[in-house]
Structure formats: C-alpha cells, structure tokens
Structure 1
Amino acid sequence: MRITIDDNWTATVTGDPLHINPALDFREFRVRIATYANVEERGRFLLDTFGSQPWLWDTPDELRFDQASRELVGAEFHIAGEAADAEDSARLPATPPVHPSGLRADEAQDFRLEVTTELCRAPGDTVLTCLRDLDVLDEPLEARIGIAPDVALLIQHGTVVGWSLTDPARYLTTGFAAPDPGPPAPATRLLFTECLDLITTPLLDEVRDRVPAALDRLRAIHQTLRDQREDRHRVDALLSLIAELVEDYADRPPRRKP
C-alpha cells in the first residue's frame, strides 16, 4: 500500500513497525517515538535522517527516515490543543483495526507534515486521536497503520489524515525521559482525565481569565497531584504543566490595566 503524506510525497507500507515505545511529554503536549535521550542526540538524529522536521518558527509534525534504507526510524506528533465535542468524538469509526506496519519513503527528500487541528477523546481517555479536521469523520477510514506500539496513522483516500495513541496514560513522561515501564495506577488514569478536562476545554480560558471557580478547580487538581504517593513518575509529568498554570494564574495577582 502506498500512502500520501504531503501533496505528492509518498511512502510505502512495509512489514515491521518501530519497536520503540512512545513517550507522551505532557508539559509540551506532544508524543515522541525516538531513541534519542537529550538535545544533542536529537540534533544528530535530525542530521542523520530526512523527512518532516521543525525549522525556525515552523514546527510541523515529524516523520524521520533513515538516509540509506529510507525506512521510518522516528516520529514526533503535537497533540491538538482543543478537544472536539463529545458528539464528534463519538463519530470516530472503530474500524478498520490497527495493522502493525513500517513505512519506507519512496524518495529520500524532505517534506512537511502539517500538525492536526482536532483532538478526539475516547471515553476514559483510553485513546487520543488527532485529526486533520472534522471532515475526516464524514467518511470511513481506509486503514490504521500501527507504526509503533499503540501509535497508528489514520489513512483516508490514500492520505494520512491523523494519528492515534492508545492508552496514553501509560506513556506519560516529561522531556526526554522514558515512560515508567509498569502500568499506571488507577488514580493516575483519573487524574490524567481531570488534567485533560482542564487544558483541552474552555475551562483553560477561564483559568487564564482568573475566574474564581476555575482557579479553585485548578488548585484542587494541583493539590491532589502533590498528595498522590504512588506512580510518581507519571504524576510528576502531569504536575509539570499544572504547577506552571498555578504559578502563572492562581498564585500571581492579575496585572493592573494601565
């Protein structure tokens, strides 16, 4: 199967997916599938591969391919910042099932992979799906290509129209740190949903506007995260962003208008 990623840039579906667990950097709100562990290693990785990558102020999603074999070797996706309505999320088709596969670029040249604009949250946030736009929901999907554990590209009319991450709470982390290999605690899953409720809905605008009820909810989530003793690696990943929001909006007095 040949798929289109950017206009006329194509890749062919091959046999083996990446055997790299994804990492959900909650503070940066992105999913990374790569083996580099710091900024220097990431820089070398980008120099040694080709594909879609950030450039100056341009930050598209990333698919990176080996220069020699043209096989997919890494990816990084931005999670859309605002969640779709529950009614639209419910329209996301359950079929076809994920088919684990790799990708081989048809040509060794760079391209640009646009970031998605719509986030669909499954009940309990068991799956996060990011779509190019909501028009994708008007027609069936052609394929789900599992490029890495729990990560799939969504294909419609031969074109990549989105991606999904199954069991996102399992892969919570920050920066370049690897996720905890054990399963997340049930309390962590609930807190993950609470945090997503805060940052992907209009509630975040209320926090920024310092609406008292929204700030109370932010402080309550912050305190619960600080108090949880188990699963600290994942909880600290959630806390990295929530604590920043508390500092910026709940702790600081609002600026006086001139």
Structure 2
Amino acid sequence: MTKVRITVGDTMSAETTDRPLAFTPRFDFRDLQLIVAGYSDPAGRERQLPDTFGSKQWLWSQDEHFRFDRGSRELCGLTFFLPPQSVSVPRGPAAHDEPRTQAGGLRADTAREFAMPQTTVFHCDPGATELRCLRDVGVLDRRLDARLVLAPDVALLVQEGAVVGWSLGDPARYLTDGFAEPQPSPPAPATRLRLAECLELVSSPLVDQVMDEDADAWHRLRATERALREQRDDRPRAEILHGVISRLIEDYEP
C-alpha cells in the first residue's frame, strides 16, 4: 500500500495506514449523524475521550468527531454530522470524474487536539446510492484527488491534499435510530427512494419552505409521510424515517 499524507482539519497532518476501521457504520437519522466507532451510547463516547485525542464538539463549536488512539496515534472512531443544506444537482468535474480509491486508516503525526469544522452542503441522488457531504459548494468545481475508504462504505474525500468531505455509500443500508446496530438485511428499493426524499425534506432549502407553509413543500412532505406509513416491506427502516417526518409535520403543520 502506498502511504499518503493528508491534512485533517485546520492543522493536523496524518499518514494513511493499511488498517481501516472494522466497525459497521450507523446512520442515525433521528440526530442526523453517522457513527463509526465501538461505543454503543453517548456515555461510551465520553468514556473514550481520556484515551484519545483529535477533534470533537465542545461549547460553541461544531466540529466533526475524529478520535485517534493516544498510544498508537491511529484513528479509532469518528462521528460525522449531516450538513444543513442539500445541493440538488452536483456541478463540475467532482460530479463526473471519480478519483482513485484506497482503503485504509489514518495515523496522526502528533497527539494533540485540532479543529475539524463540519461540512456545510450535501448531495444524495434520487436512488440514494451515495450520500456525499462537502466542506462547501466550491469543492464541486474541482476534481477530487482521492477517496480514502475508512470503514465499510465510508470514505474521506480528499482535494489538494486536504480532507474536504466524506461519503456514505448505500446510506439506507445503515439507517438506524440512535446508536443501535442497523438491520442486517439489505434495504428495500422503496426505502432508498424515501430516504432521498427525507434528506431533502429535513434540509434547506426545502425545510425552510415547509416552515414558511409553502403549499408545494407541504404536498411533498405529506406524500412522503403517507408513503412511509403505508410501506409494508423493510418496516424497521421505514419507521425510522416516518418518525422523523411525522415530527416535522407536528412541529410545523399550519
């Protein structure tokens, strides 16, 4: 494996390893976060902190969680957060030219804390084959250099030697509520379609239109809620999505 050095966050430099994380991703749709780690609840995440270093949320900050083992300096867990704005149609070379892909882990150069701001925009295709979250829309105007696959279907997106986003392949497969393990069976095609719809409904600009009582936005919201309520196959995943959409209706129904 060819080792590559990349910049993570504002100041941290790290080198790739041949040891990706073995954890199954958990796409917690209630809190809109992706968890790739060994802990099973928030308390477990807190217990891990003294033995690790990296980036994390603290008062007034909105950082992604990158945690490295304090002894080996190797990546041992992460949590990513869904950005607040969706980009409906990706632009430029990043949407068409796939970069080289490499599976592996990361080893930080030094054991210290650093800042890793959350991504700001995302794109998910109508069939929810991939969720791609980016630092800003400018990333879409330039070709990505590489995709570092850190865990099953989870990759860091690298541009000009720096991490500029992350992606989750087949996000419906990893849908869950909180820290629970995802369903082992593959998602139904209907679940993938509903997930793509729900991602738009919980993000700007569509969620802003829902709050402003826009008639078309509310038609889409109610149609998705009805489809999830009536879906017969893949019920556990459908119920996760339905719970979030139902709360959106309860909170903002005119």
Q: TM-score, normalised by structure 2?
A: 0.92
Q: Distance in 2 between matches of 1:124 and 1:244?
A: 24
Match of 1:256 in 2: none
Structure 1 position 94, deviation (Å): 3.5
Write the mapping of 1:190-229 to structure 2, written as runs, cut at 5 A: 190-229=193-232
Q: Cα offset for 1:141?
A: 1.9
Does 2:240 match 1:237?
Answer: yes
Residue identity opposite 1:194 in structure 2 = E
Deviation of 1:123 after TM superposition, in Å, equals: 4.7
1:109 Cα deviation after fit? 0.7
Structure 2 residues without counterparts, runs of 5 or longer: none
Any runs of at least 4 consecutive aligned residues in structure 1 with deviations exceeding 6 A, and if so which?
A: none
What TM-score do the two structures reach when normalised by structure 1? 0.90
1:49 aligns with 2:52: yes
Offset at residue 102 of structure 1 (A) = 0.6
1:208-249 C-alpha deviation (Å, 9 max, x unpaired): 112334323322322221222321221122122101111112
Answer whether contact 1:88 1:120 (CA < 8 A) is retained. no
- Corresponding position: 1:105 with 2:108: yes
Q: Paired residue for 1:21? A: 24
**Following the alignment from structure 1 to structure 2, what is the Cα–Cα distance between the partners of residues 63 and 17?**
14
* Among candidates 16, 38, 42, match of residue 41 of structure 2: 38
On the 8 A contact 2:93/2:143 being kept in 1, the answer is: no
Is 2:164 aligned against 1:167? no
Q: What secondary structure does 2:86 align onto?
A: coil
What is the percentage of aligned positions where both structures have the same residue?
A: 48
Query: How many corresponding residue pairs?
Result: 251
Take 1:198 and 1:89, find their aligned partners in 2: how far apart are those partners?
A: 25
Structure 1: 5+ residue runs without aligned partners?
Answer: 254-258
**Aligned equivalent of 2:75, options 66, 72, 95:** 72
* Equivalent position to 1:148, from 137, 148, 151: 151
Q: 1:140 to 1:218 in 2, by over 3 A?
A: closer
Q: Distance in 1 between matches of 2:73 and 2:42?
A: 23
Q: Which residue of 2 aligns with 1:4?
A: 7
Offset at 1:88? 1.9
Seen in structure 2, the aligned counterparts of structure 1 residues 119 and 67 have a Cα distance that, compared at 3 Å, is same
How much is the aligned-residue C-alpha RMSD, in angstroms?
Answer: 1.8
CA contact (8 A) 2:20 2:149 kept: yes
